[in-house]
């Protein structure tokens, strides 16, 4: 575990106490760690979405998808026969 000192806005900390947020965690460190994990996951999803959007406009990816669809067009037709 890494020890770090943080500073937060006093009003934010009071809000955490007033809303009982601190009661849901073993310690303030647990709250910070949990919040950071959620932030990391959120940013990962955001980055993944950006990559997908970028790929959707990539001519090479579009060409690959078209080629794959063409390669499987007859196999897809066989499934319709049943």
Q: Where are the domains of the chain?
A: 11-80
pTM here is: 0.66
**CB 55, CB 61: distance < 8 Å:** yes
- Residue count of the chain, please give it: 82
pLDDT confidence of residue 76 = 66
Q: What is the 3-state secondary structure (H, E, C) of the chain?
A: CCCCCCCCCHHHHHHHHHCCHHHHCCCHHHHHHHHHHHHHHHHHHHHHHHHHHHHHCCHHHHHHHHHHHHHCHHHHHHHHCC
In the chain, which stretches have pLDDT less than 70?
76-82
pLDDT confidence of residue 75 = 79
């Amino acid at each position: 575990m890494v020890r770090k000192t943080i500073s937060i806005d006093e009003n934010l900390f009071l809000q955490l106490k007033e809303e009982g947020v601190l009661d849901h965690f073993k310690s303030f460190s647990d709250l910070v760690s949990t919040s950071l994990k959620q932030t990391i996951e959120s940013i990962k999803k955001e980055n993944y979405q950006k990559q997908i959007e970028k790929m959707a406009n990539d001519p090479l990816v579009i060409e690959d998808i078209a080629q794959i669809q063409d390669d499987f067009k007859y196999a897809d037709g066989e499934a319709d026969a049943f």
